[in-house]
Amino acid sequence: MVTALQSTSSVEVDSTLASFEREFGSERRDVSAALEECAANLIPPGWSDLGDAARYAMLGPGKRIRGVLLIAAYRAAGGRGDIAPLAAAVEIVHAYSLVHDDLPCMDDDDLRRGRPTVHRKWDVRTATVAGVAMVPLAVRAALLGAARLDLSSAASGAIVAELMRASGGGGMIGGQLLDLESHAAGFSLTDLERIHRGKTGELIAASVMIGGLAAGARDSQLDALARYGYDIGLAFQIADDVLDVTSTSDRLGKTAGRDAALGKQTYPSLLGVQGALDRASALIDDACESVKTSGLASDRLQQLAKFVILRES
């Protein structure tokens, strides 16, 4: 099996999904259970197709990396409560973004997480509407999560604001729009990093920041978490670009070779596969360094950072 970063990382980690499951399976299952609970409590039966589509998108298979990162950041900052509902909130935002990314007016993709995309299984209208409906769902999940932890008004507000900042046009959505223009001539590495900072980095950074905010982390620790989040977010996207070149649709659960087919500029197209992997490796080292020196209990965060680029799908 070929991993995104097989031999270039200095870190020795078993890179398989089985390894992630062994190390973080408990957190992943907590996030999935919280997602099930959100779907059961927040989607009324009357939604019919819309509800089915939102459930399909929220509860599909997935590693729940953002939710697991949120939990790890929360615990690293000393949190001990039931953080899973907040982890579900970021996963709902992520799931909505995938529904919209796959739309014909965006990437126009048929396959996601090994299953037909929402607009293929239903239609464009249902996918558009179900996607939008998931943003309020995520906010409600976050409010319930904050209430369950009995957080202060300031902390709940900061958490919802962070979730929304990452979900809005400055975050994922802006990144996605820029991404769609990334076949333009004269497209540079700086442009690409700006895209990925928005498209992947913002929500990953928000995930760890929300974990920190919920645990009452100090400002300097929140800064460290933000740096960590942006670094691994970018590394994650580089790994994604590399896997799009080196892996298969079957293994990825989504269409491989899609970037080249769409004529998009990517890390491998700008730096070559090896150059891209070196850049990802350096980012992970930086990310680990940020949290190591922050006074956070950072072992699990470092372990997760390495998984991000050693994954196979």
The answer to whether residue 135 forms part of the interface with a copy of itself (CB under 8 A) is: yes
CA distance 78 to 62: 27
Shortest separation between residue 272's beta carbon and a copy of itself, angstroms = 29
Closest to 211 in 3D by CA, of 286, 291, 292 = 291
d(CA 109, CA 98): 10
Distance CA(135)–CA(10), nearest Å, equals: 39
Which member of 165, 251, 258, 292 binds a copy of itself (CB under 8 A)?
165
Question: Cα separation of 51 and 42, whole Å?
Answer: 10
In whole angstroms, how close is the CB of 148 to a copy of itself at the nearest point? 12
Among 11, 59, 129, 262, binds a copy of itself (CB under 8 A): 129
Say how many Å lie between the first and final Cα of the chain, rounded.
Answer: 11
Q: Which of 3, 32, 176, 294 binds a copy of itself (CB under 8 A)?
A: 176
Task: Return d(Cα 237, Cα 72) in angstroms, integer.
Answer: 20
Minimum distance from CB of 262 to a copy of itself (Å)?
Answer: 14
CB of 194 to a copy of itself, least distance (A): 8
Does residue 71 touch a copy of itself according to CB under 8 A?
Answer: no
Burial class (CB in 10 A: 0-12, 13-18, 19+), 115: middle
- For residues 19 and 311, what is the distance between their CA atoms, to the nearest angstrom? 10
To the nearest whole angstrom, how small is the minimum distance from the Cβ of residue 57 to a copy of itself? 12
Three-state DSSP class for 138? helix
Closest CA to 121 of 63, 49, 62: 49
Given the complex with a copy of itself, which of 161 and 261 has the nearer CB atom?
Answer: 161
Size of the site for a copy of itself (CB under 8 A): 50
Smallest gap from Cβ 263 to a copy of itself, in A, equals 16
Single out the residue of 11, 13, 59, 106 in contact with a copy of itself (rule: CB under 8 A): 106
Q: What are phi and psi of 111, to 5 degrees?
A: -130, 135
150 DSSP 8-state letter: T
Among 4, 39, 54, 284, binds a copy of itself (CB under 8 A): 54
Q: Identify which of residues 162 and 231 has a Cβ nearer to a copy of itself in the complex.
A: 162
* Binding of residue 103 to a copy of itself (CB under 8 A): yes
Tell me: does residue 128 bind a copy of itself (CB under 8 A).
yes
Single residue of 82, 123, 250, 299 touching a copy of itself by CB under 8 A = 123
- What SS3 state is found at 237? helix
The DSSP H or E segment spanning 299 is helix 299-310
| Alpha helices, H only, 266-298 | 267-292
Question: In the bound complex, what is the minimum distance in angstroms from residue 176's beta carbon to a copy of itself?
Answer: 7
Evaluated on CA atoms 229, 231, 236, 240, the torsion sign reads positive
Write down the least CB distance from residue 76 to a copy of itself, Å.
Answer: 25
**Would you tell me which residues interact with a copy of itself (CB under 8 A)?**
42-44, 46-47, 49-51, 54, 100, 103, 105-106, 123-126, 128-133, 135-137, 139-140, 143, 146-147, 151-153, 156-157, 160-161, 163-165, 167-170, 173-174, 176-177, 180
